[in-house]
Amino acid sequence: MASILEWLKRLFGRKLFNLEWLRSLFRRSLKFPVSFPTAGWETIPDDEIIEEEQMEELLQKNCYLPVEIGDILLSRYQVVGKLGWGITSTVWLVRDLEMNAYLALKMFSHDMLPGEESTYYDKIKQGNQQHLGSGRVRTKIAEFEYVRFEIFNHLGILHEPLGESLQDIQNRSVGERLDKLSIQSTIYQMLLALDYMHTECNLIHGDIKGDNIFQEIGDKSRLDRYVQTEIEHPSARKIDFAYTFYRSRPLEPASQLGKIQLGDLGSAYPGDVPRNGQPFQPALYRSPEVMLEKEWNYPVDIWNLGVWAWGAFEGSRLFPLKEDDDAYSTSAHLAYITGLLGPPPPDFIEPDTISAKHFDKDGNWIVEDCEVHTTSFEDLEKHLEGEDKEMFLDLMKGMITWRPEDRKTPRELIEHPWLQGICQW
């Protein structure tokens, strides 16, 4: 074979003929179910704690379903790689042997049967599919229940596979920030997604961040290459009795940002019932009405998107809080917001509430051991100039406001001048 390749290489010229591409032509096409190597992987040291291994309490309770690459679940879904993990689940690339298609499988731990999340995915599919935002929210293809030892029930939700998260893209970008065109496209597509969720599905997302925004795959051959790589270079792992801990293998990155989808409905809430005083949203993106235990609804998503987008574009947080939940301080968060937006409107302050512990009746800050430092959007923005900067800041000021009713709706923001001319696919 090598001699044939070298002959072809001489015939067509070294510059025009890629040897690795030629080898790929001679590889056997993948035939499922695939046989994966039984040795030859990197063994992760015992003292290196990875991924779900960090969740010691859940592991002690046997919460996670033990999954091996190569397993065939329910005699139908072959596991071909690990894509990621979370506190409540692990995520795998699987091959549907009946439909001859790749799917992403989110397998929940047995103590988590997220009926609400599954129901919300059903609502996403029931909305008006002609809405431009319907394709910007991740949907569920199917689900199944997997019973282990007749006592552990695991819910598996199947989705179309998606590519990199925007957090991955940001992490490998220059300055760990998204460029102007990328953030414009992202904000535009996420506003379409939120308009669809809010108006067609009556759902609040509640957890908008780079980890939950994903690129679409586009070129499906990337999935075959993913499996081929797993065969040729097995994922690093460690085996602890009956459980194998794999280091996740991401899909190869796309050459440029294209269509994206908003995923993970694990924090979603119905928006047709006003809520009051319930903890909600990740601490870094928590809106004022949630912090002050006031009534909240759809506008929390607009605040969330605005604060996240600012950090992704600027490369630094709008409110430089500590990310560790144990170190998070509502008072510090409110002080940063007050420094940027000024005092809250007087109608935000109510006696005998958390707001009265931070502000007097006129909105003046009264927390003695936490200072307010005055700043502005104009001072904090570092990457734009002139009219471009003015338009961007106008967009942000329409999203980041004390009063939720002062925030613009997704439909209004979609029409903002700074977002015009964006590729709409």
Supply the DSSP symbol for 359.
B
Q: Is 181 helix (H, G, I), strand (E, B) or coil?
A: helix
Q: Is 107 helix (H, G, I), strand (E, B) or coil?
A: strand
Which residues are marked as active site? 207
Measured torsion, CA atoms of residues 177, 182, 188, 192, in degrees rounded to the nearest 10: -90
Binding residues for ATP: 106
Identify the helix (H) or strand (E) that includes residue 311.
helix 299-314
Helices marked H in 137-179 — which ranges? 166-171
Kind of pairing, strands 89-96 and 203-204? Answer: unpaired
- Of 180, 398, 207, 407, nearest to 308 (Cα)? 207
Is residue 184 within 8 A of residue 418, CB to CB? The reply is yes
Handedness of CA 227, 228, 231, 237 (dihedral sign): negative
Binding residues: 106
Q: Is the peptide bond before 250 cis (omega within 30 degrees of 0)?
A: no
Residue with tokens 């496209």: 185
Supply the DSSP symbol for 247.
P
